[in-house]
Chain A
Amino acid sequence: MTYQAFLIKYAEIGIKGKNRYMFEDTLVSRIAHALRPVEGQFEVYKSQGRIYVKALGPYDFDEAVDALQHVFGIAGICPLLQFPDQGFEDLCQRTVAYMGETYPDRRRTFKVMARRANKRYPLDSNEINSRVGEAVLEAFPEMRVDVHHPDVLLNIEVREQINVYSQVIPGAGGMPLGTNGRGMLLLSGGIDSPVAGYMVSRRGVWIDAVYFHAPPYTSERAKQKVVDLARIISRYTGPIRLHVVNFTDLQLHIYETCPHEELTILMRRYMMRIAQRLAEQNGCQALITGESIGQVASQTMQSLAATNDVCTLPVFRPLIAFDKQEIVDVAKRIGTFETSIQPFEDCCTIFVAKHPVTKPNLNVIRRSETHLTQADPLMEKALETVEVISVGE
Chain B
Amino acid sequence: MVTPIYIIAIALGIAFSLGFFSKGSKGIASSLFYLALTALTAIAGQWLIAFLTGDQSTVEVFTSGFKPPFSISLQMGFEEAVLLSMINIAGLLGAVYLFDQFKKYGAHLMITYLLLIMGLDVIVMTRDLFNLFVFLEIASIAMAGMALITNEGKSVQAGFKYLTATAIISAFFLIGIIFAYNFGDSLYINELLMSEGILKAGMVVSFLIIMPLILELKPFPANGWGLDMYQATHPAVGALLSGASVTASAYVLYKLAPLGGEIGYQVIAILGLITFLGSNLAGLKQSHTRRMLGYSSIAQTGLVMIVIGLQPMLGEMTLWIAFSILITNFLAKSGLFWLAGIINKDELKSWGILRKHPILLFLFVMFVIALSGLPPFPAFFGKWELIMALANSGNAWWIGLILLGSLIEAVYLFRWVGYGIKDKSFDFSINCSTYKTIPIYIMGAGLIAFVGYYLNHYFGDVVWYFIPLAFAALMFILDFLPAKLKNIIAIIGMGGYAYYMYDHFLGVDNLRFFFALIFIVGGILTLIPGFTKSGKRLGFYPAALLMFSGLGMLISATDLLQFFIAWEIMTIGSYLLIIRGKNSIKHAFSYMLFSLGGAFTMLAGFAFAQSGNPGIGLEVLSNMNYLPGLAAALIAIGFMTKTASLGLHIWLPGAHAEAESDVSPMVSAILLKAGVFGIILLFIGIGAEAATNHPLTYTLGWLGALTALIGNLGAAFQEDAKRLLAWSSIGQLGYILFAFSIMTHLGWLAGLTYTANHAAFKAILFLGIGGVVFRTKTHNMYEMGGLIKKMPLTFITVLFAIITLAGIPPLSGFAGKWLFYNAVIMKEWYLQGTIVFFAGIIAFLYSFRILYAVFLGHLKDKHRKIKEAPIWYLIPQFLLMGFIMLFSMQPELILRPFGDMISAYFPTDALTWDNGTALTSLGYWNGFRVGVIIFILFGILFGWLFLTSRKVKKIKSFNIVYAGEAPERPETTHMAHNLFAGYNKALGFLVAPGITNIWKWIDESTHDLGDFIRRIYTGNAQTYLVHIVAYTVIVFMLINFSI
A and B bind: no
By a beta-carbon cutoff of 8 Å, the part of chain B in contact with chain A is none
By a beta-carbon cutoff of 8 Å, the part of chain A in contact with chain B is none
